Amino acid sequence: MSSTAITNIAALVTNDPSLGDRSPLGLIQDAAVVVDGDHVVWTGESSKAPATDNRVDAGGRAVLPGFVDSHSHLVFAGDRTQEFNARMSGRSYSAGGIRTTVAATRAATDAELEANLTRYLAEALRQGTTTFETKSGYGLTTEDEARALRIAAAHTDEVTYLGAHIVSPDYADDPAAYVALVTGEMLDACAPHARWIDVFCEKGAFDGDQARAVLTAGRAKGLHPRVHANQLSHGPGVQLAVELDAASADHCTHLTDADVDALASGNTVATLLPGAEFSTRAQWPDARRLLDAGVTVALSTDCNPGSSFTSSVPFCIALAVRDMGMTPDEAVWSATAGGAAALRRTDVGRIAPGARADLVLLDAPSHVHLAYRPGVPLVSAVWRKGVREL
């Protein structure tokens, strides 16, 4: 292993409030960071950087942690262009469109599914994503859910079993039997390949009792809960997530005061997915309300072929600042340290000694440019586990 110092950094986002300006971003001006192997070993002022084997001149640009995309659906086949076109022409969004992707995914080979996954992972990496979570949920049979998770697990440790995405079309007339499958035979086949279990708790998908059954069965198999909660309407998802100590309640668009209070008092992160609202013309989540209440907020892409077909965390940062009441600092923190919190990780989402060396170099002097210059490809270099990937 060799050590590398990245010097002449105009602004270094560490997400360590004990460093730099002592803000949540731990911002260090005129900074350097030293990487040894796959970990960060030093941060500080550029003029004080220790001797290393290699040096990289950042050229007065900004460096921040690699983005942590804690919610995506990347094991699928086909697309839903026609559905999107119809929706932009006036048709409302509902959970039912998932069935189109289910049919295409079942028909695809393993090689086709993996090629699609790696294509979108490469796309995300070019935009600064170095850690990602992804789910099953487009197979909805025991065999198809298990193979989706096997394929995903070859590319990330953050794999989520989402057999409870919608009731399988095969069980449209017997939802209870499908819940029994998801919590029984399918769970047995899928649990060895996953870290998490998720459920879409929503009208048109699974109600509170069904969601509880799915999550508690998963916990009994060693999987930790996550919840698609309160996306399309008010419902029990957020309260259930907090009660079961889910790592994250995702979407959180329609919240009561009691929901906000529950999130503020528990350990569950509110993961906001503005790409979904952008792509469905739905109501924006109120990030300001959550942040002011003391809730930990993450930002993620929800990359999927139906309701949020973007792999760009910078795009989601810009949306969150423009339409959800977040400051640029808050949005960048939520897309890095917030995503790490949603995955209950302490080794990613920050740049400080001991952290994994996942770094993004922007072609800009400040992280604020991610919101200030929306749509511009600002990511000019990416290191993942200390290796320069871009």
Q: What pLDDT, on the 0 to 100 scale, is given for residue 27?
A: 98
Q: pLDDT tens digit string along 189-199?
A: 999 999 999 99
Please report the pLDDT score of residue 93 as a whole number.
67
Please give the pLDDT value at position 92.
Answer: 76
| Residue-level pLDDT at 138 | 97
Instruction: Encode pLDDT of 284-333 as tens digits.
Output: 999 999 999 999 999 999 999 999 999 999 999 999 999 999 999 999 99
Separation in Å, CA 169 to CA 80, 149, 207, 304? 18, 20, 17, 19
Residue 187 clears pLDDT 60, i.e. is over it: yes
268 pLDDT tier (thresholds 50, 70, 90): very high
Dist CA 196 CA 95 (whole Å): 21
pLDDT of 82 reads 87
In tens, the pLDDT along 102-146 reads: 999 999 999 999 999 999 999 999 999 999 999 999 999 999 999
Instruction: Please report, rounded to a whole number, the percentage of residues in the chain having pLDDT higher than 70.
Output: 99
In this prediction, residues 233-254 reach a mean pLDDT of: 98
Q: Can you give the pLDDT at residue 1?
A: 74
3-state secondary structure of 277: helix
| Arithmetic mean of pLDDT over the chain | 97
Quickly tell me which residue has 């006036």 as its tokens.
90
**Six token digits for residue 27:** 């911002």
pLDDT value at 94 more than 70: no
Share of the chain above pLDDT 90, in %: 95
Residues contacting residue 174 through CB under 8 Å, at least 6 positions apart: none
* Chain centroid, CA 291 distance in Å: 18
Q: How far is residue 123's CA from residue 137's CA, in Å, rounded to a whole number?
A: 22
Q: CA nearest 71: which of 272, 331, 320, 277?
A: 272
- Split at pLDDT 50, 70, 90, the class of 96 is low
Q: What is the pLDDT of residue 95?
A: 56
- Indicate the pairing of strand 387-388 with strand 379-384: antiparallel
Q: In sequence order, what E strands does 18-93 have?
A: 28-36, 39-45, 54-65, 67-69
List of residues 6+ apart from 192 with CB closer than 8 A: none
